[in-house]
Structure 1
């Protein structure tokens, strides 16, 4: 499955998307993307595996992955964030639905102050580049959705008890890897 990934190696991703180097310190290698990601998880700064997945996944898949990660943390989210998370989930399921697009665009137009706020911003940026013009958060790099997904998941992870954090981080990364493999299969199937 790794051969069907949009970025076969870590270096391929860093070359295509140099903005990732602003969000992580690890240097790319010629390892497969999946192996590189797992090495990051086992390394000195395992959170960089989250960052790598955020950029590795296509934007809509990355938003879905973030939604799924934060769905596992609902007991750490307030009611407003839980409602916003539902809007993001609706948008991912039906991104062309005008009602879902409007809800995400409205949410994305406010500064992200919570983990789900970042994910809504990622969805809004991915869905409609004009959200960038209405948001109070400047687009500082060419891949803002990946940056926002990364920020949202890491902000959610920061709410997890320290004793549980690595286990949750590992589960999130494995979910991201599985999503990348599924996307690779989907792209291979679409090619036929």
Structure 2
């Protein structure tokens, strides 16, 4: 369970009920993360595997996964986002509050809500306070929802003829999180 918030998807849906607003499929009582991911992957809405993984993985791991997904979608990376992506990578390697707040600040003031900016917001919402001077906790669904938006909006920028292959690669990468 090293990379996941909960051992069983059913527990995840109970702990963060907002995921149910974004998925049609529900986990079965005895279904583990890998089985649920495989069922989502083979459904008529395989994008739900992205949503599930964004919510299921622990925040730092989910951001790392989102970062790797965005990097695999060159259409999703704009020149102005390269410095932000470097901040996100730095935070995944060393998740300090200073880096988290800096990444959040850059993302909040970005001129466009690109996939990288959505992922940067997820870093800011990954835990702890929203800002250095604001002790309010971040709701658990904020980061995963932003990671989901980052990946799916990045995927939407890929040529239509390549989307299913790119989605399959993203879900294969998600499997590594569900196995650990």
TM-score by length of 1: 0.80
Q: Please name the residue that 2:7 is paired with.
A: 8
Check the 8 A contact 2:37/2:52 in 1, yes or no: yes
For residues 146-157 of structure 1, the aligned pairs below 5 Å read 146-157=144-155
Check the 8 A contact 2:81/2:117 in 1, yes or no: yes
For residues 69-84 of structure 1, the aligned pairs below 5 Å read 69-84=69-84
Q: Please name the residue that 2:90 is paired with.
A: 90
Q: Please name the residue that 2:35 is paired with.
A: 35
Q: Please name the residue that 1:172 is paired with.
A: 170
For residues 98-177 of structure 1, the aligned pairs below 5 Å read 98=98, 100-110=99-109, 113-131=113-131, 142-177=140-175
Q: Please name the residue that 1:187 is paired with.
A: none
- CA separation of 1:160/1:5 partners in 2, compared to 1, >3 Å: closer, same or farther? same
For 1:74 and 1:5, how far apart are their aligned partners in 2? 27
Check the 8 A contact 1:157/1:165 in 2, yes or no: yes
Give the 3-state SS of the residue equivalent to 1:19 in structure 2.
helix
When the two chains are superposed, the root-mean-square deviation of aligned CA atoms in Å is 2.6
Q: Which structure is higher in helix share?
A: 1
For 1:41 and 1:175, how far apart are their aligned partners in 2? 12
- CA separation of 1:147/1:96 partners in 2, compared to 1, >3 Å: closer, same or farther? same
Greater shift, 167-176 or 60-69, is seen at 167-176
Deviation at 1:158, TM superposition (A): 0.5
Structure 2: which 5+ runs fail to align? none
Residues 141-185 of structure 1: per-residue CA shift (max 9 Å, x gap): 641001111010001110111111111111111111202323xxx
Deviation at 1:113, TM superposition (A): 1.1
Q: Please name the residue that 2:22 is paired with.
A: 23
Deviation at 1:5, TM superposition (A): 5.3
For 1:4 and 1:151, how far apart are their aligned partners in 2? 20
Q: Please name the residue that 1:189 is paired with.
A: none
For 1:161 and 1:66, how far apart are their aligned partners in 2? 19
Structure 1: which 5+ runs fail to align? 183-192
